[in-house]
Amino acid sequence: MAWPTPFEGLGRRAISFSISQTAAGAPAVRNFDFLVLGSGIAGLSYALKVAKHGSVAVVTKAQAEEGCTQYAQGGVCAVLGKHDSVEAHVEDTMIAGDHLSSRRVVEVVCKEGPMRVMELVELGAQFTRKENGALHLTREGGHSHRRIVHAADVTGREIERALLAAAAAKGNITFFEHHAAVDLVHTEVNGQKVCMGADVLDQQAMRMIRFMAPVTMLATGGAGQVYPNTTNPSVATGDGMAMAYRAKATVANMEFVQFHPTAFCASAVTGKPSQGRTFLISEALRGEGGRLYNQSGHRFMEDYDSRLDLAPRDIVARAIQDQMLSRNDSHVLLDISYKPADEILAHFPNIAAQCKTFGIDITREPIPVAPAQHYMCGGVQTGLSGETNVAGLFACGEVSCTGLHGANRLASNSLLEGLVFAERAVLPSLAHAEGTLRDAGQAMTRASQCPEFTGLSAPRRLSVSNNEWVAAKRAELTAVMWSAAGIVRRRADMKEALQQLAGMHFDVQAMWQSYGTSTELVELRNLMAVGELILMSALQRQESRGGHLVLDHPGPGLKLPRTTRIGGSNLSASKPAPPQLVGNGVPLRSGSLGKKTGGGLIERARSREVALKSQKEDVE
């Protein structure tokens, strides 16, 4: 089959048209019925569905197609096979999640999944088919049956293409590319926290715009960039998790970071450390027979798990890490070359081509691989309709913690989660939008009275030296996270790391307050916040479970497994600044754009001490 070229039929002209209109002197406040932050599978699926009911703004940080979705290789799960069953998918998901997943949520997703995947087919997504025309189902680690719908090994690219083409054809959806949400606009109405939109940095025009909407869908994806080795693209800086946390949404299970066992180890070929996004060697390659060997040619998975190369990801990642550390090797080897070359090339054209650029022919030789951060199982806690504890704020996709993944995600369940929750959020969103007009209309009117983004909250590009400062802080942060909150953890290391991050976070906040708003500082502040959330959650959990292995408590706890939750605002440097008063004096928002606080050194030191003390109390 000839695969469509990436983003063929995307309707780019329609997208850029809406952007140039915005840039040409539009007001600093934009009103929509639905505000969608992020344009991956979650944001686009939701936008397409609510566009039938009102105007939709899709605000996205880079080009619309950039995000984890377009890099997904393996596929999306759906119980479509003759011998498969929803019950089997539920059990596989519960086992992978180390029994921390919510069975109710898992059942809903596994049951509704096939309908959502077939909607993608109707939308025009071209998945790989068998000769008889039926969808080809592949298998991945942790799955008891073949149930992965895929488009060769470029599934995410095909899904993103189909969704973007459909969205571009809808008159009701306006895209704002290169627009980064900085903070949510929120208030309290009758004692209930309410989200009314977001303050957004137009990165090209360098100006702030307040997007107002009764419903905001947070679909900003994951936070892989908080680690030095990640399969995630550069936009994955945890912005949604950090923004929601600052807006007092509950964040859950952040300690469960999934490390993919087999990312391409470029340094094995180039001799230089890998930089930026690490290319993923999909689990499907092991599903189709790929075998792991150490550098002495031993099939080491035999020593760790009876499921060998198809054991769940956390087990394989730890086994590889163990081999690398104990043998002082930089990588292990993944070999599928014993299979017929035409079969390999038909199923893995993208992986073969990527490896070829490093001089590796996967039909003849093994691939050097090592673990890398891959997925955040935790995030903004939602109910079964994607609703959060902040009215008007919904979350969907990797940014959310719906209860599906528990302590570890089953392969190919995340694209599915985005599809299922995008649909489930539609009706509650409509109900909320109507309710808002009744209950929070006045607050929304006040908030939309043109906000001033001047002084310290004004956008400003960073100088070369400030950019270097940001890069150095990011490198420091990611190194701390890899050593303290990586594949194997120790409590003492995590406590020390939390203190280090509190200091760094404070410096970042001070830098922002001196230099104004820029994408680099927005991302750095969010990465610091996410790092702290991961460490705080990890310190709350007094056991090892799923993706969280802590040597001080090597086994699962004796009590029933529970979800770790962090709510309210107990992060150090993101302690709320005095509420900003807008219009009739309604406190709107805390944090980034608030007035400068605590400028003096003594005050800085004092608030840092208080912050550290409160963190200590949180985690003991």
Ligand X SMILES: Cc1cc2nc3c(=O)[nH]c(=O)nc-3n(C[C@H](O)[C@H](O)[C@H](O)COP(=O)(O)OP(=O)(O)OC[C@H]3O[C@@H](n4cnc5c(N)ncnc54)[C@H](O)[C@@H]3O)c2cc1C
From 93, 128, 203, 220, residue interacting with ligand X (rule: CB under 6 A): 220
C-beta of 256: minimal distance to ligand X in Å? Answer: 13
Q: Give DSSP secondary structure letters for 219-256.
A: -----GGGSSSBSS-TT-S-HHHHHHHHTT--EE-TT-
Q: Does residue 375 belong to the site contacting ligand X (CB under 6 A)?
A: yes
Q: Does residue 174 belong to the site contacting ligand X (CB under 6 A)?
A: no
Neighbours of 455 (CB within 10 A): 10
Is 318 catalytic? The answer is: no
C-beta of 401: minimal distance to ligand X in Å? Answer: 12
Q: Give DSSP secondary structure letters for 338-364.
A: TS-HHHHHHH-HHHHHHHHTTT--TTT
C-beta of 177: minimal distance to ligand X in Å? Answer: 9
From 19, 51, 69, 334, residue interacting with ligand X (rule: CB under 6 A): 69
Phi-psi region of 67 (alpha: psi -120 to 50; beta: other; left: phi over 0): left
Distance CA 70, CA 67 (A): 6
Q: Does residue 519 belong to the site contacting ligand X (CB under 6 A)?
A: no
Q: Does residue 231 belong to the site contacting ligand X (CB under 6 A)?
A: yes
Distance CA 457, CA 515 (A): 9
Q: Which stretch binds ligand X (CB under 6 A): 126-134, 329-337, 338-346, 393-401?
A: 393-401
Decide whether 93 or 544 has the Cβ nearer to ligand X: 93
Q: Does residue 39 belong to the site contacting ligand X (CB under 6 A)?
A: yes
From 15, 72, 252, 535, residue interacting with ligand X (rule: CB under 6 A): 72
C-beta of 320: minimal distance to ligand X in Å? Answer: 17
| Residue appearing with tokens 């004796």 | 558
Distance CA 181, CA 15 (A): 18
Q: Which stretch binds ligand X (CB under 6 A): 24-32, 33-41, 81-89, 569-577?
A: 33-41
From 212, 217, 415, 573, residue interacting with ligand X (rule: CB under 6 A): 415
User: Per the structure block, which two tokens stand in for 134?
Assistant: 């039926």
Q: Does residue 355 belong to the site contacting ligand X (CB under 6 A)?
A: no
Of 371, 394, 347, which Cα lies nearest the Cα of 155? 347
Compute, in degrees rounded to 10, the torsion defined by CA atoms 540, 542, 548, 553.
150
How many residues of this chain bind ligand X (CB under 6 A)? 43
C-beta of 200: minimal distance to ligand X in Å? Answer: 7
Distance CA 540, CA 179 (A): 35
Asked if residues 111 and 281 have their Cβ atoms less than 8 Å apart, the reply is: no
C-beta of 230: minimal distance to ligand X in Å? Answer: 8
Q: Which stretch binds ligand X (CB under 6 A): 67-75, 359-367, 545-553, 566-574?
A: 67-75
Q: Does residue 66 belong to the site contacting ligand X (CB under 6 A)?
A: yes
Decide whether 519 or 544 has the Cβ nearer to ligand X: 519
Binding to ligand X in span 418-437, by CB under 6 A:
418
Q: Which stretch binds ligand X (CB under 6 A): 26-34, 60-68, 334-342, 600-608?
A: 60-68
Q: Does residue 86 belong to the site contacting ligand X (CB under 6 A)?
A: no
C-beta of 344: minimal distance to ligand X in Å? Answer: 18
Q: Give DSSP secondary structure letters for 141-202.
A: TT-SS--EE-STT-HHHHHHHHHHHHHHT-TTEEEETTEEEEEEEEEEETTEEEEEEEEEEE
From 97, 114, 141, 156, residue interacting with ligand X (rule: CB under 6 A): 156
| Residue appearing with tokens 């995008």 | 422
Distance CA 51, CA 422 (A): 12
Q: Does residue 239 belong to the site contacting ligand X (CB under 6 A)?
A: yes
**Of 161, 313, 525, 545, which residue is the catalytic one?**
313
Asked if residues 150 and 128 have their Cβ atoms less than 8 Å apart, the reply is: yes
From 142, 221, 290, 379, residue interacting with ligand X (rule: CB under 6 A): 221
Q: Which stretch binds ligand X (CB under 6 A): 36-44, 121-129, 320-328, 569-577?
A: 36-44
Of 282, 289, 269, 237, which Cα lies nearest the Cα of 529? 237
Asked if residues 332 and 320 have their Cβ atoms less than 8 Å apart, the reply is: yes
Distance CA 270, CA 576 (A): 46
From 10, 47, 57, 76, residue interacting with ligand X (rule: CB under 6 A): 76
* Largest Cα–Cα separation, the chain: 74
Q: Does residue 405 belong to the site contacting ligand X (CB under 6 A)?
A: no
Summarize as ranges the residues that interact with ligand X (CB under 6 A). Answer: 37-43, 59-62, 66-69, 71-76, 155-156, 180-181, 219-221, 231-232, 235-236, 239, 280, 375, 397-399, 412-415, 418
Catalytic residues: 313
